[in-house]
Structure 1
Amino acid sequence: MAQLISPQALTRQREFVGMSVTQLAKAVGVTSRAVRHWEAGTRTVGDRSFGRLLDVLGCDAQDLTGHEPGTETLTDLRRAAGMSAEEAAYALRGGRTTQGLNVSAEKIRDLESGRKIRGWAWRSPEALAQVVRLLAQMYGVPDRLVMDAWHRSRPQDPLPVLPEPPPRQMSTEHLAVWQALNERQRTYLTCIFVQDQEVEKDQWRKRHAGEMRQPAILWRRMTMALSAPHSIVGYTTLQERLRQAGVHDPGAGSSMAALERRHLLRTYRDWVYIDGLGEVLRTRVEMTRRGRAAARAGLGITRETGPPAPLLSQWLWKIMIRVARAGERGVDGSLAGRGPHYLAVGQSPDGRTPSRGFIVLRHPDRATYGPYRWFLTDSGRRHVIDYLDAYRTMYPDIDTEGVEEILH
């Protein structure tokens, strides 16, 4: 199987790393003539050579193919991992859960090209789910990225159904830490944990809305107490929580020290200026991961695992519905927040993992100038149609009435 690349992109990447045609050919293990053909566009690059090119040039597949993140097919994922169809088949055959599929290079190519795959086992949703999981591990990408690529490669097929992640088990170790605390220490840890989670949610809200936010090293450290009369400075938010919980002298003394000795929190002391008082000693507190885990165990709170792959979080689903409802009009190009980093073609949430490729910024149909607007891509439209019922169950508060008529 051959890989289509941009000849100009290959030349640009080679010159960027300061290699001659001869040096690149030697590093990849081909002849100089082959490299010249690649750069002239008269020959295509084989799978194995393509993987070596990525390693030698230190670039991503998109840098050579011109494919934008969020448009990957199953073939793109395999080649970006530097694997041939034969190598992918060999790796899949080694999986305990896929041995009955009789995987071959031919079946890998059939899977990637959308052709029918021979064998009854390939019709099993459970077996296909295992293929998705193993492909994600082989290619070093999240499950949802394989699911999106599967959708693009086989648009007429129903998607494999991945099992929902099991709920996280409560740690007996952290529960034992909680049980070793006395009632007052548990009250302190609970109040600090509740405020820590509220601050964290507020930071997530700001992040998703594109607002200015502080680094975690700052917002994790919450003011516990001020060394000044309460009649003048009042009580901090944490002290008010403790008072409502029945602690009437909420200071930063022995209970805090006991929690710090158990590595459940850290305390910091500095000086702040207060009008009329001058410099006042301030005590701040920060929960450790161990502290949060102990509080969750003691309070019976399990961490959310998020929606099952390939479904979206609630805030991303809101954006999708907004764009879907806009139809042919599209949504104003100034769509705020970090949503486009997760959803838009050509974007990435972390600079490494491609976006979902569900929305795209472009001119409206039949327009060649004017403002750009956000529209659903074919993948995005298919995703909404395929999973609309699932989202309605997961997020019943989001109004999706009439979306089917708009998309059809």
Structure 2
Amino acid sequence: MSVEKLAEAVGVTPRAVRHWEAGTRDVGDRAFGRLLKVLRCSAQDLTGRDPGTESLADLRRDAGMSTEEAASALRRKRGARDLHISAEKIRDLECGRRVRGWAWGAPETLGRVARMLAQVYRVPERVVMDAWRRSRPEDPLPVLPARRARQPSGEAIAVWSALNDRQRSYLTCIFQQDQEVEEEHRHARPVGAEQRPAAEWRRLTLALSASSGVVGYTRIQERLRGAGVHDPGAGSSVAALERRGLIVVYRDRVYVDGLGDTPRTRVEMTRLGRAVARAALGVLRDAGPPATLLSLWLWKIVVRVALAGTRGVDGSLAGRGPHYLAVGQSPDGRTPSRGFIVLRHPDGVTHGPYRWFLTDSGQRHITDHLDAYHNLYPSVDSEGLDEISG
């Protein structure tokens, strides 16, 4: 694009664009958001800022909002009625200054503000909380409103009621196998096992079109037999569940020793299917740990790096943990990492292998939440972290 075309698309003068390119003037807040859209790039592409180091001001600019626009969007939120949010308060919040107003001193109020900011900036709550601690390290920790476990919907219960006994058995056994495989996959991540896409491991083998005396029974068929279904094929019951949008059926062929290419039926649960099964079986979706806290396998990585201290951890840290935790990384190419660990040379060393070390954000996270982690994951050996956090 020419300077003139870019200026016209962003809504500024060509002179302003020339200043940006020369580095003699910063891009204004409003123009920054429009610039991201016109160039179809991320904020990191323009700023060179590493994911996992964002401040509150960075999140607002990444959303393409000025302080006035952010304040206006927040005032429209139901939970903001008594906070009298203004652009000045947004600026004070971002700069680490005291925000005037009696309600702004309570951790619960700050948690409400953090949740609303996540909604307005369209980022996960954990991203806002991490940016908050970088911007306001001396503040009391905001307390996010507790998340509730999701209750089953009336639609899910109605769908279950419309199924016959055999269809219910099939849906139940497929759901149980789906949850078992998900648990196996979850436990494989911390040990660095090869990660397959969910689209692959959620497709469960239901049946092989061959004699059970030769190929045996699949895990789902064994469950069905235990539930009293002694001819667990892939016929009308499976077709009925697919018509209702509860499962997706895949038919292909697989090589079996002694039989050659054998027809195979695989099934994958849909979101509606899981919702119906959970409603029928009384399985509430776990609300999970608070949004700020790490999952078990990520917490183990942080503990390992923290306890290594100035020695650091070998740079070949296995698994996808660094995508979620390390400065400069992102788990999905869009959401920034937590920024709790960094790959660098040890202090005083300018060459040789890189190692993983805890960042200041990681240190603050441990200090803020160590007691919560002790209660949440008592099996994790974190002896020595009390001294580090102190």
Q: TM-score, normalised by structure 2?
A: 0.91
- Give the match for residue 293 of structure 1: 275
CA distance in 2: counterparts of 1:294 and 1:324, whole angstroms:
43
- 1:186 is aligned, of 152, 155, 168, to 168
Q: Look up the SS of the partner of 2:357 in the other structure.
A: strand
Measured after TM superposition, the shift of residue 207 of structure 1 is: 5.4
CA distance in 1, matches of 2:78, 2:205: 53
Query: Partners in 2 of 1:179 and 1:99 — Cα distance?
Result: 43
1:3-402 aligned within 5 A: 18-20=1-3, 22-206=4-188, 210-402=192-384
Aligned residues: 390
Comparing 154-163 and 393-402, the one that deviates more? 393-402
- Give the Cα–Cα distance (whole angstroms) in 2 for the partners of residues 218 and 57 of structure 1: 35
Structure 2 residues not aligned, in runs of 5+:
none
Deviation at 1:210, TM superposition (A): 4.9
State whether residues 327 and 407 of structure 1, in contact with CA within 8 Å, keep that contact through their aligned partners in structure 2.
no
Q: State whether residues 324 and 407 of structure 1, in contact with CA within 8 Å, keep that contact through their aligned partners in structure 2.
A: no
Tell me if structure 2 keeps the 8 A contact 1:189–1:295. Answer: yes
The verdict on how the C-alpha distance between 1:258 and 1:151 changes in structure 2, with shifts beyond 3 A counting, is same
Q: Deviations over 1:117-167 (max 9, x none)?
A: 222121122322222122222222111111111100000001210012111
Greater shift, 162-171 or 93-102, is seen at 93-102
Work out the CA distance in 2 between the residues paired with 1:325 and 1:292.
Answer: 40
Equivalent AA in structure 2 for residue 53 of structure 1: L
Distance 1:157 1:298, change over 3 A: same
Contact conserved, 1:220 with 1:286, CA < 8 A, in 2? yes
- Stretches of structure 1 lacking an aligned partner (at least 5 in a row): 1-17
Say which is worse superposed, 152-161 or 172-181, in terms of deviation: 172-181
Secondary structure of 2:81 counterpart: helix
Q: CA deviation at 1:73?
A: 0.5
User: Which shows bigger deviation, 60-69 or 307-316?
Assistant: 60-69
- 1:200 to 1:88, Cα distance in 2 relative to 1, 3 A: same
**Equivalent position SS for 1:291:** helix
- Residues 190 and 298 of structure 2 are in contact (CA less than 8 Å); yes or no, is this contact kept in structure 1? no
* Structure 2 CA distance for aligned equivalents of residues 45 and 267 of structure 1: 52
1:87–1:274 CA distance, 2 compared to 1 (3 A): closer
Tell me the TM-score normalised to structure 1 length. Answer: 0.87
RMSD: 2.4
The CA distance in 2 between the partners of 1:167 and 1:355, in whole Å, is 25
Deviation, structure 1 residue 351: 0.5
Shift in alpha-carbon separation, 1:301–1:44, aligned structure 2, 3 A? same
1:293-316 CA-partner distances (Å, limit 9, x unpaired): 222111111122322221111111
Report percent identity of matched pairs: 70
Aligned CA distance change for structure 1 residues 194 and 66 (closer, same or farther; 3 Å): same
Deviations 1:313-366 (A, max 9, x none): 111111111111111111111111111111111111110111111111111111
Query: Could you tell me how far 1:244 is from its partner in structure 2?
Result: 2.9
Q: Choose 1 or 2 for highest CA Rg.
A: 1
